[in-house]
Amino acid sequence: MTTKPVKLGVVPSTFSGRADQDPYKYLQRFELAAQANSWDETIKTAQLQNYLADTALLWLHKYLKEQNAQATATAGGTPTIAKIKWKDITEALQKAFRTVASKEVAEDKMLARKQRSGESPEDYVYAKIDLMSDYESDMDETTQVRHIVRGLKPLYFEKIYPQNLKTVEEVLNQIRRISDTQFLITKYVEVNSVEPATKAVADFSKILELQSKQHAQQMDKMMEVFTTQFKFQNNKTQNFSSQNNLVQCANCGKRNHNANQCRGQKAPKIQCMHCGKFGHIAGFCRSQQSSSIICGTCNKVGHILNMCLSQVTCNQCQRRGHLSRNCRSGNQQGRSSTNPTPNNRTPPPRGTVNAVEMTTPDLNTA
Around Cβ 174, how many Cβ atoms within 10 Å? 17
Question: What is the average per-residue pLDDT within 234-244?
Answer: 51
Q: How confident is the model at residue 189 (pLDDT cuts 50, 70, 90)?
A: low
| Domain assignment present for 121 | yes
d(CA 108, CA 105): 5
The answer as to whether 242 is a domain residue is no
Q: How many CB atoms lie within 10 A of CB 151?
A: 20
d(CA 28, CA 54): 20
Say if 64 falls within a structural domain: yes
Task: State pLDDT tens for residues 88-119.
Answer: 888 888 888 876 567 788 888 888 989 888 88
Classify residue 274: in a domain, yes or no.
no
Q: Please check whether residue 105 lies inside any domain of the structure.
A: yes
Phi, psi dihedral angles at 278 (to 5 degrees): -95, 155
What average pLDDT is seen over the chain? 75
Q: Where are the alpha helices (DSSP H) in the chain?
A: 23-36, 41-50, 54-74, 86-96, 100-112, 121-135, 141-150, 154-160, 168-246, 335-338
pLDDT digits (tens, 9 = 90+) for 34-89: 888 888 888 888 888 889 989 989 999 999 998 888 888 888 888 888 888 898 88
Segment 315-339 shows an average pLDDT of: 66
The answer to whether residue 184 is domain-embedded is no
Whether residue 342 has pLDDT greater than 60: no
Residue 143 lies in a domain: yes
The predicted pLDDT at position 74 comes to: 84
Let me know if residue 133 belongs to a domain: yes
Cross-strand bridge partners of residue 301? 294
Its pTM stands at: 0.37
Question: Which helix or strand (DSSP H or E) is residue 104 part of?
Answer: helix 100-112
Q: What is the pLDDT of residue 58?
A: 92
Q: What is the pLDDT of residues 267-287, one digit of tens each?
A: 455 677 677 777 666 666 666
The Cβ of residue 116 has, within 10 Å, a number of other Cβ atoms equal to: 12
Work out how many domains the chain is built from and give that number. 1
Residues 54, 15: contact at Cβ < 8 Å?
Answer: no
Domain membership of residue 60 as a residue range? 23-164
Q: What is the pLDDT of residue 241?
A: 45
